[in-house]
Structures are given as structure tokens and as C-alpha cells.
Amino acid sequence: MSKQLAAARRERIVSICRQRQLAAVLVYGNAWRCDYLRYVTDFAQFEGHGAALVEPGRVRLYLESRADAERASAQADGVEAVWLADFFGDLRRIVEAEAGAGPIGVAPASQLPFGLIDALARPSVDVTRDFDQALRLKLAGEVDAVRRAAQLADEGYEEFCRAARAGRMEYEVVADLERFFRSRGCPDNFMIMASGGVDIRAMHPPGAKQLAVGELVTTELTPCIEGYYAQICRTLVIGPPSKAQQAAFDVHLEALEVGLAAVRPGVTGGQLARLQNDVFRRHGLGEYTTSEYTRVRGHGLGLYVDSSPPILEEDETVLAPGMTLIVHPNGYHPDAGYLVLGDAVVVRDDGYELLTATPRKLFSVPA
């Protein structure tokens, strides 16, 4: 990532300090969820706790892992990386001794461990909503990274179609994709898949199941470029599709196209979900729009594989220019099994920019 983009991201968080009259913003992360922390440090940790103290003109990154601290010292440009042997105790002393006077902003509040909350002796202010707005409304350089990740996802799906053959184990297919993405300089790809018929109701990490002729094979590829993820969801059949499989896919295709057509500023995530679910309801499949058979009808894309907003009927997040998301009416169909179909987009002033180039069709590979 360019120094200019890194500085622009940090300045957005510093502006929260100024607007809220805060001494600093304390940002938390861990190896599983570090998108908030990565936003201000441009560093992805591998283990333990991490926190950044963001002040005007200064960003300090504190890490529980000595190895991560050594990596950060070499990789995190413009950031002071420090290893803390007693993470919470040392962090408390640093915040109290070195942060300016006044309350401290914290984000993401819902993920703060008790040890970190207890370490703050002074009042804290939840600035997660402010932070989320910065994460959702991408700068031009951020959108470009998501766009490049989407292009890599398209290339990855071509490789998936080559790898998916009858008799191969699911884990063998995923191993081929892991090799492919790493050969393209992308060591970070979140991927799940499934294979089977009406017995399959969701995707999962790869197992030892063999792909078989006539089965649906679904996948979700989510490669990462400079910290930013983009996703593609597609379904293929080993051999020619059956009439039932094609008919089920056509419902999903209709739902996706209805959802995409509605993407524009001012529309809520809930409206996008409802429009897609209404397609299934019109086809007598309303039962399969519930949480028993599906999760979300899309979600945000960015520094995390499944970012805000979640495209659910109750979501009230209003779309705005600069948001990147995937629309995907993934779900179960009683006549065919679990199908997935999803495209990545950027919200623009007059609608959306489509990032996914892979055709929207039920793919078929040789039996």
C-alpha cells in the first residue's frame, strides 16, 4: 500500500479525535479480526492481542507477540511498533503516562477483551460507528485494491473450473487454488466449498469427499490484495446440468440481477435483502429465505472477508458512494441443493460499478 493511502487512512481516524475532542483513539485487534487495527497500522498480526494508540502525528502499535512486533518494526511504515511482555498492564501504564489529557476513544467496542477495558483507568468513548463509516466509505486507493482483488478472484474461478473434476477430493481442489493464488503473490484467500446434491445445505472447509458426476460444486473465493478482500460466488456441475439444477439456478440468477439493479446510494441493506428474498417467495420458496437455510444476501468487502453491512432484511445501513460489497443470494433449493451466485460491486453516485467479470451462468465441466 502506498504511503499516501496509509497516511490518508490514519488522518481519517485522527479527525475522529478532533471532532470528538479525544486525547487519542485506542484501536484493538487480534489474529482473527484485525481490520480495525490494520486500517491505522497497515499491519496484519499473526497471533495474540494488538492495540494501536492513534494521536495527531503519531501512531504506536503495541503487540503481545514478540515475533509480530519484530515484523511490524520492519513492515509497518510510519508506525512505532512495541512488544509488551505484560500486554494489558504495560498498555495501561503507557496510556496513562503518554496519551494527552482527556477521554480515550475505543474501537471496535464489541470486541474489546475485558483485560483491555479494565486496563483503561480514564473514561473511554465508543467510536466504533465513526470508525465503521471510514471502513465502509473507501478512498480511491482502497477501491482500486478491491478492484484488483476482484480481478484475481475471476482468474481464480477459472482455475477452480480446471481443478474440479470427478474423482478428486475437495481438499485437492482447494490445494490447487492455494497454489494458484500464492503463485500470483496472494498468500491470503478465504475459501469454502461444497459438493453434492439435495443433501448439501451449506458450504464448508474442504474435506475428503470425492467430487462425483452430476453433483453441484459450489465455492466462495475471497483473495486479498494489499489487505483488501474481494469475493466471487459461483456454482458448477460435473457433467451436464439437470433440468432441476438449471431451474434452481435460474431462480438464484433472477434474485441476483434484481438485487444488483437496486444497488445505488440511499438504498438500505435491508431493501437489497428483501428484494432478493421476494424473488424466492414469488417462486414458492419463501421457507428457504430463513436463517435455517441461508445466512445473508451479501455483505461489505474491505479489510475483512465479511465486512459491514450485512445484507439482511433488518439491516438499516444506507448505501453510499465508495462502499464495496458483494450481492449473493446464496441458499438452499429443495430440488437441487445448495447454490451460490454472487458479484462484487462498488457503489457509485449513479448506481454501481461491477467488479466481477465472470459470467453469471451455471458452469459445467467435463464428466
Contact yes or no for 192/205 (Cβ under 8 A) = yes
SS (HEC) of 212-250: CCCCEEEEEEEEEECCEECCEEEEEEECCCCHHHHHHHH
**What's the CA gap between 311 and 296, in Å, rounded?**
6
pLDDT at residue 317 is higher than 70? yes
Q: 322: closest CA among 355, 349, 356, 357?
A: 349
pTM for the model stands at 0.95
Distances (CA, A) of 334 to 77, 89, 218, 239, 257: 52, 55, 16, 20, 21
Distances (CA, A) of 81 to 76, 143, 272, 275: 8, 27, 42, 47
Contact yes or no for 145/1 (Cβ under 8 A) = yes
The 3-state DSSP class for residue 316 equals coil
**What's the CA gap between 169 and 171, in Å, rounded?**
5
The 3-state DSSP class for residue 152 equals helix
The pLDDT of residue 71 is 96
Average pLDDT, integer, range 227-232: 97
The set of cell numbers assigned to 91 is: 498498555
Ramachandran angles phi, psi of 338, nearest 5°: -85, 125
Q: Computed over its alpha carbons, how large is the radius of gyration of the chain?
A: 22
Taking only the tens place, the pLDDT of each residue in 126-140 is 999 999 999 999 999
**What's the CA gap between 339 and 73, in Å, rounded?**
45
The pLDDT of residue 366 is 94
Average pLDDT, integer, range 154-175: 98
The set of cell numbers assigned to 316 is: 438499516
**What's the CA gap between 131 and 240, in Å, rounded?**
48
Contact yes or no for 38/61 (Cβ under 8 A) = no
The pLDDT of residue 100 is 66
Domains of the chain, CATH where assigned: 3-136 (3.40.350.10), 140-365 (3.90.230.10)
Q: How far is CA 322 from the centre of its chain?
A: 15
Contact yes or no for 60/52 (Cβ under 8 A) = yes
Least confident piece of the model among 64-73, 98-107, 275-284, 324-333 = 98-107
SS (HEC) of 101-118: CCCEEEECHHHCCHHHHH
How would residue 25 be classed by pLDDT, with cut points 50, 70 and 90? very high
Share above pLDDT 90 across residues of the chain, in percent, rounded to a whole number? 88
pLDDT at residue 102 is higher than 90? no
**What's the CA gap between 295 and 111, in Å, rounded?**
21
Ramachandran angles phi, psi of 107, nearest 5°: -160, 145
What's the whole-number average pLDDT of the chain? 95
Q: Which ranges in 99-200 belong to alpha helices (H)?
A: 114-119, 128-136, 140-163, 170-183
Least confident piece of the model among 114-118, 170-174, 298-302 = 114-118
Contact yes or no for 136/53 (Cβ under 8 A) = no
The pLDDT of residue 349 is 97
pLDDT at residue 2 is higher than 90? no
Average pLDDT, integer, range 221-244: 97
The set of cell numbers assigned to 181 is: 493464488
Contact yes or no for 315/270 (Cβ under 8 A) = yes
Contact yes or no for 157/148 (Cβ under 8 A) = no
